[in-house]
Amino acid sequence: MDLLLIAWRYLVARPITLVSTLSVTVGLMAIVVVDSVMSGFLGEQRALIRALAPDVSIELDGLDAAQRAALASQLAADPDVTTAAARLDVSAIQYCREQRSFLAAPKLGDSYFVNLVGLEDAELSGPLNHVLGATSPAGASAAAQSFLGTSTVARPADPFWFDLDDEWWQQRLPLDRRHRGDLVPVLFGRHLAYQFDYRPGTVVTLATFRGVLQAGAASPTASREFVVVGTFATRDRAFDDTHALVPRAALGDFAGLDTDAHEQAVWGRGTPIELRDRLRRALAATVDPAAIRSWEDRRALLLGAVESERRVMNVAMFFVVIVATFSLFVTLHQLVRRKTRDIGILCALGASAMRAGRLFLLCGLIVTLAGSVGGLAGGIALAHWLNPLLDLVERLTGFRLFDRQLFSFKNLPVQIEFGRLVWYGIASVACGTLFTLLPAARAARQDPVEALRHE
Amino acid sequence: MSDPIPSSAPAIRARGLVRNFESIGQRLEILRGVDLDVAAGEAIAVVGRSGGGKSTLLHLLGLLDRPDGGELAVDGVDVVRAPRGERDRLRRDRIGFVFQFYHLLPELTALQNVLLGAMIGVSPLDWLGRRQDEKQRARALLERVGLAERASHLPSRLSGGERQRVAIARALLRRPALLLCDEPTGNLDERTSAEIEELLLGIQRETRAAMVLVTHSLRLAGRLDRMLMLEGGRLHAVEAPPDQPAAAVASMV
Ligand SMILES: Nc1ncnc2c1ncn2[C@@H]1O[C@H](COP(=O)(O)OP(=O)(O)OP(=O)(O)O)[C@@H](O)[C@H]1O
Ligand SMILES: [Mg+2]
């Protein structure tokens, strides 16, 4: 009790300890804000790297129809799987049928590659729904009038299979295509649609090779008309620039493949890695474990780069912790020098020199704890209100820290990761304690008689 | 206040205490064989030249320092061989110090300074249970030394004499069997010295604690049970005629 009382009285009697506390606080606040923004950016980067990838994908090559059916029913029965759907990938060429703008990059008669992703409704209306944007067809008639302003006119719950016979849609089709009923819907990446000036109702001709290419043999080709029903946008512009989504069954038919799916996309509970491991165990009898991969497995290289950014930042943050807590060493060193006589007094009252050492350790601990808790709380608050704060600064001074034009998101991405922040708190308390330890050890070694003679 | 200390062992029994210091490569033999017996409840004065080693001796007796040679028993415990924890406990529970420069903690109020001795080594939880009793006792002690009104004042707002009163109250809190006073009036003016003397002697009689008091004031020394002089690193008894001790000793110092 003596230690607590004296430590407290020491600290409140000395404004300099407040400076130490503040330096820890400010240091930790900076760390929390930087970490949260960095986490936000890294999160954006992960989303970008991920694009449309499902949690886990299972390669279907080498499985016969019976095995595929067994796999599908097994996935459907799995309580951890929320969505399972087959996918098909086909490359195609899009033919620029009409040049609407002379400024637009694609010229009349040019043809461009596009990767067609054959998806099922379950994925697009489920876990991938967010790429479609928010416009519902109920509001589409009004909103779709300016196509680029409305990212999509697809019904989020049922994006492809809206009623093409619906009069609203028919109005948008070229006259000769109306009421034919053989058009296949397609969603283009927003950026691609923008370049080609695709709008809802635009009919696009896509061509592809049918079947499997064979050297020396002429390959049959097929072309078909698709009608643009909307756009999608992932975080990855390059992906959006080169991809289009079509119904899987129609794509299989179009491409004339002897398979109707390349992979099984699986979404489920827990992290993708956990889901992958669970599926590998559960499906061991049917599927080679190597064919079951999480999206992180498939993008390991790029994600590795992100992780190394994170590691570099951790090291940088550690130095910030050291700098922020270093002032404790100075403060405590000075305190011990000033209070040497008190050590002798405490000893005369029956304390051991060890106890005097602990007194200063406690002083340092109070300072770091107060600084760390304050810094964490302040940092979290600052990170939480960072964007409104930046807006306010911009409104007051005209200074803009974050240029929205450069990014695909409107605000600074902020992601507060409490688990990591706790570690920063622990690191700062540990560092502070370490810096306190040296002066405290000096106090503990102090000879009480010399301390009493100390002026 | 008048709790008698239940101890029949002699407060101090020292034989041939030796203490040397190294100073710039030079060996200073400060205590060269001090013999001292202080019975329980006895009050003795130690006088001697400045630099003679009086404070050094008190530090040995108060277990703040260890002798380089000799035997020392405090309150019946052989403290030369006792482990450190035992010495700390003895110092806390059985010995009270009063210093020339008061040695109060400047950040604590008078009451907190007095209470400090009772807090040492007590966990905050235990302290919650004991706080009221100890506070009451500390207040009673402050009242005894005449400072009941100043309990919440910091030392910086007290006069020298008042600070020494606080220091005396602090020394008494644990009901020590042995009071060690190092020139308790050495820093005070004539009148205040006389007041502090009265207080100390009164308290010594009330508590029946043994007392070793170092002083340059022969008037004070003469009022104690015995007077010893530290000279040449040894203690000598001073036999002074009771009617005029000061003159007799003055001729010897
Ligand atoms: N740690 C030390 N190192 C070297 N010399 C020391 C040390 N401690 C004390 N001394 C010396 O020991 C001698 C005795 O000191 P001490 O303080 O005991 O004297 P004193 O009798 O109390 O004197 P005063 O009446 O002035 O207080 C002094 O000469 C002092 O310089
Ligand atoms: Mg002295």
Q: Is the CB of B30 under 6 A from ligand 1?
A: yes
Decide if pLDDT at A386 tops 50. yes
**A342 interaction partners in chain B (CB closer than 8 Å):** 105
* Cβ A359 vs Cβ A346: under 8 Å: yes
Chain-centroid distance of CA B177 in Å reads 11
Return the pLDDT at A171: 66
The model's pLDDT over A195-215, given as tens digits with 9 standing for 90+, comes to 777 877 788 888 888 877 777
Q: Express each pLDDT in A143-199 by its tens digit.
A: 333 332 333 344 333 444 445 556 666 666 666 666 666 678 888 887 788 777 787
ipTM of the complex as predicted: 0.90
Q: At what angle do helices A15-50 and A418-445 cross, to 10 degrees?
A: 150
What is the Å distance from ligand 2's center to B48 Cα? Answer: 10
Is residue B155 pLDDT above 80, yes or no? yes
Q: What is the pLDDT of residue A238?
A: 86
Summary mean pLDDT of chain A? 82
Return the ligand 1 atom nearest residue B57 CA.
Answer: 18
Q: CB of B52 within 8 A of CB of B231?
A: yes
Closest-CA distance of chain A to residue B240, Å? 33
For ligand 1, whether the C-beta of B248 sits within 6 Å is no
| Spans of all domains in chain B | 43-66+88-248
Q: Given a cut of 90, is residue A437 above it in pLDDT?
A: yes
Between the alpha carbon of residue A362 and those of residues A74, A280, A369, B108, the distances in Å are 60, 52, 10, 17
Q: What value does the mean pLDDT take over residues B163-186?
A: 92
Which atom of ligand 1 sits closest to the CA of residue B23? 4
Question: Which residues from A are below 8 Å from B64, CB to CB?
Answer: 344, 347-348, 448-449, 452
CATH class of the domain at B43-66+88-248: alpha beta
Looking at the DSSP bridge assignments, the partners of residue A336 are: none
| SS3 readout for chain B | CCCCCCCCCCCEEEEEEEEEEEECCEEEEEEEEEEEEECCCCEEEEEECCCCCHHHHHHHHCCCCCCCEEEEEECCEECCCCCHHHHHHHHHHHEEEECCCCCCCCCCCHHHHHHHHHHCCCCHHHHHHHHHHHHHHHHHHHHHCCCHHHCCCCHHHCCHHHHHHHHHHHHHCCCCCEEEEECCCCCCCHHHHHHHHHHHHHHHHHHCCEEEEECCCHHHHHCCCEEEEEECCEEEECCCCCCCHHHHHHHHC
Provide the pLDDT for residue A102.
55
Mean pLDDT of chain B: 88
User: Model pTM?
Assistant: 0.76
CA distance B63 to chain A (A): 8
